[in-house]
Amino acid sequence: MALPTVILPGYLESATAYRQLEQSLQQLGFPTVTVPLRRRDWIAMFGGRSVTPILKILDRTVKQTLQQYQASQVNLIGHSAGGWLSRIYLGDKPYLGRGEVQSSVWNAHPLTATLITLGTPHISQERWTRWNLDFVKNNYPGAFYQNVRYVCVAGKTIFGERRPGSWLAYSSYQLTCGTGNTWGDGITPIVAAHLDGAENLVIAGVRHSPRSPGIWYGSPEILQTWAQYLA
């Protein structure tokens, strides 16, 4: 039997945006649960503050899923910011977010067979997110845990340019990796979505968000490209 899979939504997304992906994975034989986030749950992260509140909900969901399916491990799917948040969750270093007086350690890598990140910006130049991302980069560089399979999926859809139709992509890419004239999914550039030592994939034509027009990483016609890596 396939391991249960837990989806961690992206920044400012709620669990409802991932229902189709959840159902599609279940149809492929992967018992799947989405972390029950509401859009307002992300407010606690505004201004580069601690991500602990989100990770507590993730941890509770993983523990409940392990118990429900009587499993010893899960697959984790992190969309966008959910990918680097998952890397903090795997880790064994004390995390002390801004404004916190007590650090937290989740040490969830023994519970995780595979981590798949979808359009995740693993680096950032933006000052409000950079503190948290630097914590990840400095403590858990690349595909850090050898007992976890890392699969990083990027989209090659929009080339960032300073012209109508590409301006948002240009600005987002520049804020993420420092270069606007590059390829990405419209929000995350390819160079930021991959990790050293991971199995890095590029899918043409996919857009960043489940709310984007057209197809995104979780669309039924796309997901089998990366779902084959789930344990």
Structure letter (DSSP) for residue 164: T
**Phi–psi pair at 137, nearest 5 degrees:** -60, -40
Q: State the helix-helix crossing angle for 52-68 and 81-90, rounded to 10 degrees.
A: 70
C-alpha–C-alpha distance, residues 109 and 90, integer Å: 4
Global confidence as pTM: 0.96
Segment 94-145, tens digit of pLDDT = 998 877 878 999 999 999 999 999 999 999 998 888 889 999 999 999 999 9
The full set of domain ranges for the chain reads: 5-154+192-227
**Residues 30 and 57 sit within 8 Å (Cβ to Cβ):** no
Q: Measuring CA to CA, which residue among 191, 105, 199 is closest to residue 148? A: 199
Looking from the CA of 8 toward its CB, the CA atoms found within 13 Å total 33
Contacts of 106 (CB under 8 A, 6+ apart): 55, 59, 88, 89, 90, 91
CB 106 within 8 A of CB 51: no
Q: Alpha-carbon distance 158 to 56, whole Å?
A: 35
Alpha-carbon distance 6 to 206, whole Å? 22
Query: Length of the chain, please?
Result: 231
Query: How do residues 159-190 score in pLDDT, each as one tens digit?
Result: 999 988 788 999 999 999 999 999 999 999 99
Q: Hey, what CATH topology would domain 5-154+192-227 get?
A: Rossmann fold (3.40.50)
Taking residue 104's Cβ as centre, other Cβ atoms within 10 Å add up to 17
Give the pLDDT band (50/70/90) at residue 40. very high
Residue 222 host element (H or E): helix 220-227
